[in-house]
Amino acid sequence: MSTPRCLALSGGVGGAKLALGLLHAMPPEDLLIVANTGDDFDHLGLRICPDIDTVTYTLSGLANPTLGWGRGDETWSFMETVESLGGEHWFRLGDRDLALHVERTRRLGDGQSLSAITAEVAKRLGIAARIAPMSDDPVRTIVETPDGPLAFQHYFVREQCRPTVTGFRFEGAEIATPGSALTNALAGEGPGMVVICPSNPFISIDPILTLPGVRDMLVRSAAPVIAVSPIVGGQAIKGPTAKMLSELGLPSTALAVAEHYQGVVDGFVLDRADSDAEDAVRELGCEVLVTNTVMKSLQDRVSLARDVIAFSARLS
Amino acid sequence: MSTPRCLALSGGVGGAKLALGLLHAMPPEDLLIVANTGDDFDHLGLRICPDIDTVTYTLSGLANPTLGWGRGDETWSFMETVESLGGEHWFRLGDRDLALHVERTRRLGDGQSLSAITAEVAKRLGIAARIAPMSDDPVRTIVETPDGPLAFQHYFVREQCRPTVTGFRFEGAEIATPGSALTNALAGEGPGMVVICPSNPFISIDPILTLPGVRDMLVRSAAPVIAVSPIVGGQAIKGPTAKMLSELGLPSTALAVAEHYQGVVDGFVLDRADSDAEDAVRELGCEVLVTNTVMKSLQDRVSLARDVIAFSARLS
């Protein structure tokens, strides 16, 4: 495997959108997307990897644009029947989506690595870029709340992010080995650029940065590390980022996200709506690009990707 | 649990048809159907119990009348997608059927017994009769062929019964504990009657009879044990029974089935097409009922069930 020109670190929906833009903005073999696996969990006996799957479905054109998860060409017979049998149905699994979880669980049981399975599925679905988990070892995000810890999907899906967040733990992260795709990309000459996608910094990116050695490798990398703000005008485009910032006693601003990444990133991408934060972000010691970061259309995604690529060229 | 008036031993399709007839011919609480689990296997990481499920779907009215397995109200998105991901697709699992396998596998993983799960599913699906596995312990039917042993579903589904059969083994049967529903039914005063449904004697009924103590309990039971021939006019209504008899060097006749059950059964039910075998079967030491045994309609099933019940009353 050649070293990718672009290493993108991604969570789910927002990250996958920019990953799709990057895929259209460069030769696909230049792109490696490393997805968070802290959201992974075992449910109904199946291994579910929400962020890997959102990236995979988005890059293969199979994603459900309305729901923001799962597949667009979905049917729901399985879930209806699980419910009628008295099974757990708070985590919605479509019939086609389920095939991926069953097949992945079977292959994991046969001793295949999550990296190998993820790569094989991407290939099967016609994705020419590489997708890799942040680690083949289990890392499980725990959300701390005043009522005690919650497994991530219990917080995120079952409780619909209602509990107040007081902190996070990434169980297993300290003894997990970063995935070989990730470490190979950062080793040697390194990638041409690293993009921290506009994903939730606490629950999508921090699990990756917490893996042994990853933060150091990013800091030491010759490649510019560029983060795109997931906060625009004080709001998260999707998900609980703004709510979390506020509950953690931080301002719900792009600047707060930039501060969170201080020391790791060389460049930070602000939306035009947050251009007043440009100087403050620059004072954190990183370059700033102000552009349109809200990705409604495919064209928006490709434009943002091109802006980020040009920004990185400027920082190299 | 009260002792059932009728204990029915069943495999898949043919057995389930008579079980449905019995359900219509007596108060449902009087009926216990004990299903073969020698066909069970683990596939795609899921526990599949074909005979339990065929009985359950048939008694709940959900069975697919065309296929003879699975549900009538089925969709196939899952299987299509497994195939597109390069997964194993020789064993067809519908989206709704899959829910049962996933839910069962999850509950088994949680430590619930197959008996408890089977009873709960039957209840959920509105079945007032009792359905139980022959054992909660694993028993796996192995088909011996000139090219070596085949796991049952590999023989039955993947190879479509093409290999020549030289014998059978029921792995685990000698150390399996018969299910408590089965042993409770045969203990004490015993059931009012035992019906060996028109299932394949080698692969559907023998696994049950091979369980420690079961054959003895049936022989010693005060209740009449009545088998209904799965062979009519030299042919099996469904499945490889006639082919197996022939490959094992036995005539493909109802008489050969009666001989197979000799010593266990008190009564044997022949189809009118086989009335010429009446005397020969009687000479094996059991009573004979000649009636219509081909069950095309629900009325056929109920009629046969009533005939068997009347026959058993005569033998008591």
Is A72 within 8 Å of chain B by CB?
no
In this complex, the residue of A44, A96, A124 whose CB is nearest that of residue B78 is A96
Closest Cα to residue A39, out of A66, A17, A12? A12
Task: State the average pLDDT for chain B.
Answer: 95
What pLDDT was estimated at residue A210? Answer: 98
Residue A299 pLDDT class (50, 70, 90 cuts): very high
In this complex, the residue of B78, B84, B109 whose CB is nearest that of residue A95 is B78
A233-271 confidence digits (pLDDT tens): 998 888 899 999 999 999 999 999 999 999 999 999 999
Identify the closest residue of chain B to A42 by CA–CA distance.
Answer: B106
What is the rounded CA–CA span in Å between residue B94 and residue B71? 8
Is the pLDDT at A189 greater than 90? The verdict is no
B211-227 confidence digits (pLDDT tens): 999 999 999 999 999 99
What pLDDT was estimated at residue A65? Answer: 81
Interface with A, mutate which of B48, B62, B85 (most A CBs under 10 A)? B85
Query: ipTM of this predicted complex?
Result: 0.87
Residue B188 pLDDT class (50, 70, 90 cuts): confident
Angle at CA of residue A240, ends A165 and A119, nearest 5°: 110
What pLDDT was estimated at residue A1? Answer: 58
Please answer whether residues B281 and B254 qualify as being in contact, where contact means their C-beta atoms are separated by less than 8 angstroms: yes
Is the pLDDT at B1 greater than 70? The verdict is no
Counting residues of chain A whose pLDDT is more than 90, the rounded percentage is 89
DSSP codes joined into one string, chain B = -PPPSEEEEE-SHHHHHHHHHHHHHS-GGGEEEEE--TT-EEETTEEE-HHHHHHHHHHHT-B-TTTSSSBSS---HHHHHHHHTT---SS---HHHHHHHHHHHHHHHTT--HHHHHHHHHHHTT--SEEEESBSS--EEEEEETTEEEEHHIIIIISTT-SPP-EEEEETGGGPPBPHHHHHHHSTT--SEEEE-SS-IIIIIHHHHHSTTHHHHHHH-SS-EEEE-SEETTEESSSSHHHHHHHTT--SSHHHHHHHTTTT-SEEEEEGGGGGGHHHHHTTT-EEEEE-----SHHHHHHHHHHHHHHHHHH-
Per the CB < 8 Å rule, is B95 touching A81?
yes
A92-115 confidence digits (pLDDT tens): 999 999 999 999 998 999 999 999
User: Mean pLDDT over residues B19-25, rounded?
Assistant: 98
What's the alpha-carbon Rg for chain B, to the nearest Å? 18
User: Mean pLDDT over residues A214-242, rounded?
Assistant: 94
A5-47 confidence digits (pLDDT tens): 999 999 998 999 999 999 999 999 999 999 999 999 999 889 9
Q: How many CB atoms lie within 10 A of CB B300?
A: 16
User: Mean pLDDT over residues B272-289, rounded?
Assistant: 97
Instruction: Pick B269 or B189 by higher pLDDT.
Output: B269
In this structure, of B63-77, B247-261, B271-285, the range with the lowest mean pLDDT score is: B63-77
Is the pLDDT at A2 greater than 80? The verdict is no
What is the CA B304 to chain-centroid distance, rounded?
A: 17
Identify the closest residue of chain A to B80 by CA–CA distance.
Answer: A96
Identify the closest residue of chain A to B84 by CA–CA distance.
Answer: A124
Chain B CB contacts of A75 below 8 Å? 75, 77, 95
What pLDDT was estimated at residue B239? Answer: 87
B76-104 confidence digits (pLDDT tens): 999 999 999 999 888 999 999 999 999 99
In this complex, the residue of B75, B79, B109 whose CB is nearest that of residue A45 is B109
Per the CB < 8 Å rule, is B75 touching A95?
yes
Interface with A, mutate which of B71, B106, B108, B121 (most A CBs under 10 A)? B106
Is A45 within 8 Å of chain B by CB?
yes
Could you tell me the domains of chain A?
Answer: 6-315 (3.40.50.10680)
Residue A199 pLDDT class (50, 70, 90 cuts): very high
User: Mean pLDDT over residues A141-156, rounded?
Assistant: 95
- Residue B245 backbone phi and psi in degrees, to 5: -55, -50
Amino acid identity, residue A212? P
B77 to chain A, minimum CA–CA distance in Å?
5
Chain A CB contacts of B44 below 8 Å? 102-103, 106
Task: State the average pLDDT for chain A.
Answer: 95
DSSP type of residue A273: G
- Three-state DSSP at A228 gives strand
Is A116 within 8 Å of chain B by CB?
no
pTM above 0.95? no
Closest Cα to residue A36, out of A50, A56, A20? A50
